[in-house]
């Protein structure tokens, strides 16, 4: 079988080609038997496999198609992890919870207590269910599936999602299925590579509308350039591209992360699919919660501002003041970029601000206020420091960022060679970051005379062109991209041993 080399190959794997040959643009139909046994197909590179077999049950042909696709390094849907997720009631419940508002909205006119939704490449034959079909497709990246809903206690609930075989598509849906498949493969889905020499594919998740993005547009271009220099084909993706993760080997998140957020879902899914992922899910979980960080630093004898964990059932302002003294810094557990962080200058402000925060979280962080002219930020990846900056406080303000309605002001910054940073700052930053993992972190510290205090560890540190890269310039981006390359090469090497 000859497969055209001008595009990254799309293979539609079916049980029987004679019974179901799909004449689609940029795609070729092959039998499951040929895919599993033909060494010419198995040795192909840059292949994307669409598994349309009749069954994905354990040890069936369909199961082995996805399993061997993973072993061969072929991008494939559904993946083994997706197949397993379809068997998990917990995973189905999670999807239902995430899409609850959309489910109630799109199914509101249905009179019966049960509803089945057939989804073909993210589409349903009824346009009014198009948003829900696409949303489910983004969560469950399977080409053909059916979602089952029940109406119970006044609302619709997602009960199950089953893969559909080609033979299960109703006769009156077949023309629509072919149209949906044709549209899917007619779109530009990274079929033409940017460079024919690329060994790996990287997705860089970003939000073009984010005001306080972790990297400015110039830095993003430099990341892509550095990736290309290492034969990594990097592409910017957005929150709408969750279903495409199987196309890539690596995920680099350059959007502000949070646990209850699509960035965490991307990280979880990418890790489950076997992508080299920064930020990894565990780093996001650890860094995004200030309660966890406070306890982690305390248990490992790392100096930090005096800290109290305030509980909603044990909120005693006078006790807080006695232990920390005014003014006191209050932090929401998931605060970031100076948001969700306030300074209480007196008891009245302490009571007011604490009550506000405790409405949304059972725990709040209260810290002593350590006034300094600047904060150190040490950038670390793979347990190695790569940049060091001083971020100065905004004039007549106590933070490095001052929020004013929809705008924000930032203080000045100064970038230093690592070897000119006080050794105690570097040592403390590494000790704190190593407690989180081996990803990309920005450790914020305050230096008061000879003492160094860790303020927080960020899993998604700012790397802006013209600031953090002033010393290393392009080499900074190459260092980060090299970590991705080294990790995937090491994984391949271990697989060969």
Best-predicted range by mean pLDDT (80-89, 405-414, 480-489): 480-489
Which position has the token pair 């964990």? 309
Residue with tokens 């310039």: 473
pLDDT computed for residue 331 by the predictor: 83
Q: Let me know: does 330 contact 321? Beta carbons within 8 Å.
A: no
DSSP H or E stretch at residue 426: helix 423-436
pLDDT > 50? residue 192: no
- Place 204 in a pLDDT band, splitting at 50, 70 and 90: very high
Tens of pLDDT, residues 394-431: 888 888 777 766 677 788 999 999 999 999 999 999 99
Residues 6+ apart with CB under 8 A from 326: 344, 345, 346, 347, 350
Structure tokens at 455: 């303020």
- Confidence band for 452, pLDDT divided at 50, 70 and 90: very high
């075989």: which residue's tokens? 165
Q: Where are the beta strands (DSSP E) in 17-132?
A: 28-31, 47-51, 75-77, 114-120
Q: Inform me whether the pLDDT recorded for 5 exceeds 70.
A: no
Within 10 angstroms of residue 293's Cβ, the number of other Cβ atoms is 25
The pLDDT value given to residue 445: 96
Higher-pLDDT residue of 135, 22:
135
The answer for 75, left when phi > 0, alpha when psi is -120 to 50, beta otherwise, is: beta
Band of residue 318 on the pLDDT scale cut at 50, 70, 90: confident
DSSP helix/strand/coil, 385: strand
Query: Is the confidence at residue 183, as pLDDT, over 70?
Result: yes
d(CA 410, CA 420) in angstroms, rounded, equals 24
Confidence of residue 477 (pLDDT cuts 50, 70, 90): very high
Question: Which burial class, exposed, middle or buried, applies to 216 when counting CB atoms under 10 A from its CB (0-12, 13-18, 19+)?
Answer: middle
The CATH number corresponding to 84-186 among 3.40.50, 2.30.110, 1.10.3470, 3.30.470 equals 3.30.470
The mean pLDDT value for 175-195 works out to 68
- The answer, yes or no, to whether residue 113 has pLDDT greater than 90, is yes
The most confident of 18-27, 51-60, 124-133, by mean pLDDT: 124-133
Q: Both tokens of residue 258? A: 């949070």
Which residues have CB under 8 Å from 331's CB, separation 6+? 290, 340, 341, 364, 365, 366, 367
Give the pLDDT confidence of 11-55 residue by residue, as tens digits. 888 888 877 667 777 788 888 888 888 878 877 877 888 888 888
Which range, 7-11, 149-153, 166-170, has the best average confidence (pLDDT)?
Answer: 149-153
Q: Beta-carbon neighbour count of residue 364 at 10 Å?
A: 25
| C-alpha dihedral (255, 256, 258, 261), degrees to nearest 10 | -50
Give domain limits for the chain: 9-78, 84-186, 200-280, 306-369
Task: Tell me the fold of 9-78.
Answer: Oxidized Rhodanese; domain 1 (3.40.250)
Q: Alpha carbon of 258 to those of 63, 271, 425, 459: distances in Å?
A: 34, 16, 27, 10
348, burial (CB in 10 Å: exposed 0-12, middle 13-18, buried 19+): exposed
pLDDT at 414: 95
DSSP H helical ranges for 73-150: 80-85, 89-98, 100-106, 130-139
Q: Do β-strands 28-31 and 9-14 pair in parallel, antiparallel, or remain unpaired?
A: parallel
Distance from C-alpha of 272 to C-alpha of 143, rounded to nearest angstrom: 18
Cis peptide, bond prior to residue 391, ω within 30 of zero: no
Contact 357, 364 (CB under 8 A): yes
For 360, the 3-state DSSP assignment is coil
pLDDT at 348 over 50: yes
Mean pLDDT score of the chain, rounded to an integer?
Answer: 86
Predicted confidence (pLDDT) per residue in 250-265, tens digit: 999 999 998 888 999 9
Residue 44: the pLDDT is: 80
The CATH number for 200-280, chosen from 3.10.20.600, 3.40.50.2300, 3.30.70.270, 3.30.420.40, is 3.40.50.2300
What one-character DSSP code corresponds to residue 314? B
272's CB contacts (< 8 A; 6+ apart) are 79, 81
Residues whose CB falls within 8 Å of the CB of residue 343, separated by 6 or more in sequence, listed in order: 327, 328, 329, 330, 369, 398
Region 127-154 average pLDDT: 90
CATH, domain 306-369, list 3.30.1490.20, 3.20.20.140, 3.90.226.10, 1.10.10.60: 3.30.1490.20
pLDDT at residue 336 greater than cutoff 70: no
Instruction: pLDDT band for 84, please (50, 70, 90 cuts).
Output: confident
**pLDDT category, 389, cuts 50, 70, 90?**
very high
Whether the pTM exceeds 0.85: the reply is: no
Residue 198 has pLDDT above 70, yes or no: no
């Amino acid at each position: 079988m000859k497969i055209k080399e001008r595009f990254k190959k799309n293979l539609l794997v079916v049980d029987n080609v004679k019974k179901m040959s799909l004449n689609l643009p940029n795609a070729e139909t092959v039998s499951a038997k040929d895919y599993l046994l033909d060494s010419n197909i198995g040795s192909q590179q840059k292949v994307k496999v669409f598994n349309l077999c009749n069954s994905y049950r354990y040890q069936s042909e369909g199961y082995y198609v996805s399993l061997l696709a993973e072993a061969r390094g072929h991008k494939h849907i559904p993946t083994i992890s997706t197949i397993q997720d379809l068997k998990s009631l917990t995973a189905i419940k999670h999807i239902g919870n995430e899409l609850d508002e959309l489910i109630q909205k799109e199914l509101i006119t249905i009179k019966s207590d049960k509803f089945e939704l057939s989804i073909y490449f993210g589409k349903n034959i009824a346009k009014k269910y198009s948003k829900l079909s696409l949303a489910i497709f983004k969560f469950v990246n399977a080409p053909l599936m059916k979602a089952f809903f029940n109406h119970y206690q006044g609302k619709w609930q997602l009960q199950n999602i089953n893969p559909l075989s080609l033979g299960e598509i109703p006769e009156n849906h077949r023309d629509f299925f072919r149209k949906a498949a044709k549209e899917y493969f007619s779109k530009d889905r990274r079929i033409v590579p940017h460079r024919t020499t690329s060994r790996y594919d990287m997705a860089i998740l970003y939000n073009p509308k984010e005001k306080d993005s972790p990297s400015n547009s110039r830095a993003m271009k430099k990341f892509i350039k550095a990736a290309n220099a290492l034969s990594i084909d990097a592409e910017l993706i957005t929150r709408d591209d969750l279903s495409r993760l199987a196309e890539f080997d690596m995920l680099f998140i350059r959007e502000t992360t949070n646990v209850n957020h699509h960035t965490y879902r991307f990280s979880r899914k990418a890790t489950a699919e076997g992508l080299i992922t920064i930020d990894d899910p565990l780093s996001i979980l650890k860094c995004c919660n200030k309660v966890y960080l406070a306890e982690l630093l305390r248990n490992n004898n790392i100096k930090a501002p005096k800290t109290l964990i305030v509980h909603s059932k044990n909120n005693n302002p006078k006790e807080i003041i006695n232990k920390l003294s005014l003014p006191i810094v209050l932090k929401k557990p998931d605060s970031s970029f100076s948001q969700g962080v306030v300074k209480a200058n007196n008891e009245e402000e302490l009571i007011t601000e604490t009550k506000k925060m405790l409405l949304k979280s059972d725990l709040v962080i209260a810290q002593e206020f350590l006034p300094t002219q600047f904060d150190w930020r040490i950038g670390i990846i793979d347990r190695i420091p790569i940049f060091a900056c001083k971020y100065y406080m905004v004039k007549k303000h106590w933070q490095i960022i001052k929020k004013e309605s929809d705008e924000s002001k930032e203080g000045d910054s100064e970038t230093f060679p690592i070897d000119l940073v006080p050794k105690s700052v570097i040592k403390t930053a590494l000790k704190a970051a190593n407690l989180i993992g081996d990803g990309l972190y920005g450790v914020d510290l305050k230096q008061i005379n000879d003492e160094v205090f860790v303020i927080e560890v960020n899993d998604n540190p700012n790397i802006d062109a013209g600031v953090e890269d002033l010393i290393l310039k392009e080499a900074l981006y190459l260092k980060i991209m090299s970590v991705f390359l080294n990790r995937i090469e090491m994984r391949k090497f271990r697989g060969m041993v």
